[in-house]
Amino acid sequence: MLAQSSPFLLTIGSGVLYHLALRGGGGGAGANPWAFLTLAYAVAFVLSAAAWGVSGGGLPAIDRRVVTAASLLGAAAIGIELGYYLGYRSGWALGSASLVNAGCIAALLALIAAVERRSW
């Protein structure tokens, strides 16, 4: 049971921390979002590299699909974080910003899934 629920709990806990950090970080409306995101990604890099080293994963085979997917994920993460950062700086409410965004994303993903099913 713990193996099934731990990713869910990790995602929820991290999501709450994520929004609280974005809302509280940056030092006000005039702060530079790029400095804030650079520091956040530096911490993420160090933590990821440490976890990779501890796991003994070694060097992965370089596959174009993996590089492309990881690059797209990085670009998407910057877009998501910059959007929330700027949104919170402009006055988005903590309780509704994530809910509205998640609802829109879920609707778009459902539409994509429906189109993909028809193309099979």
Cβ–Cβ < 8 Å for 26, 85? yes
Tell me what pLDDT residue 120 has. 55
Count: domains in the chain = 1
Which token pair is 65? Answer: 């699909």
| Residue-wise pLDDT tens digits, 75-106 | 999 999 999 999 988 889 988 888 999 999 99
What's the confidence (pLDDT) of residue 117? 84
Which is nearest to 28 in space by CA: 83, 92, 89, 87?
A: 89
Model's pTM, two decimal places? 0.80
Each residue's pLDDT tens digit, 5-33: 888 899 999 999 999 998 887 666 567 88
Give the C-alpha separation, 12 to 30, whole Å.
30
Containing structural domain, residue 95: 2-119
- pLDDT value of position 30: 60
**What's residue 27's pLDDT?**
65
